Amino acid sequence: SIIIIIAALVIKFTGFYQIDPILGMLFGVVLFWASWGIIREATNILLQTVPEDFDLTGMVENIEKFNHVENVHHTHVWALTSGKNIVSMHVLVNDTTDQKEILKEIHNLLKKDFSVYFSTIQVETECLDGKEASDIDINAHSSHSDHVQNTKDKP
């Protein structure tokens, strides 16, 4: 390595032995700086955080625009590996909906517009979770009953 050669030359011509640990520490700092992005990305994957480039709000808004979709809740997005995003969500629909069709539409939207690698979508005609679920859901409404009581009027 070039650092070893530089250290050897400095020691040979000047007798400055401290150059070896100084250059070693400098190399360590440069190596850490160069790998920081990889360390941060790996940590985010291990902690299952929402990927930085994923538009969670846009995804929910697009799904809620579908006819018969009343609400999207309990959304969770994380990366399996770099570029392979996974989504889990509950979708509240009205009783007249063809659930298989809406499931297929949402699945296609997630693949096409949000590059979702794998999704788990629970379609509901009524919210089955109690208050305990909203207590742990950071995306939950101010009260869990909001998404059942405040449904949108759709054509």
Q: Which two tokens stand for residue 39?
A: 């360390």
Q: What percent of the chain has pLDDT over 70?
A: 83
List CB contacts of 27: < 8 A, sequence separation 6 or more: 3
Q: Are 106 and 91 in contact (CB under 8 A)?
A: yes
Band (56; pLDDT cuts 50, 70, 90): very high
Given a cut of 50, whether residue 153 has pLDDT beyond it is no
Q: Are 119 and 88 in contact (CB under 8 A)?
A: yes
Q: Judge whether 104 lies within some domain.
A: yes
60 with 26, same domain?
Answer: no
Q: Judge whether 154 lies within some domain.
A: no
- Write down the pTM of the prediction: 0.67
Given a cut of 80, whether residue 82 has pLDDT beyond it is yes
What 3-state class would DSSP assign to 98? coil
pLDDT score recorded for residue 141: 44
39 with 95, same domain?
Answer: no
**Number of structural domains in the chain:** 2
Given a cut of 60, whether residue 123 has pLDDT beyond it is yes
Pairing of strands 84-93, 116-124: parallel
35 with 60, same domain?
Answer: no
How many Å apart are CA 63 and CA 81, to the nearest integer? Answer: 24
- Determine the average pLDDT of the residues in 15-38: 94
**How confident is the prediction for the chain on average, in pLDDT?**
85
Alpha carbon of residue 126 to chain centroid = 27
Q: Which two tokens stand for residue 83?
A: 């570029």
How many Å apart are CA 120 and CA 99, to the nearest integer? Answer: 14
Domain interval for residue 62? 56-149
132 with 60, same domain?
Answer: yes
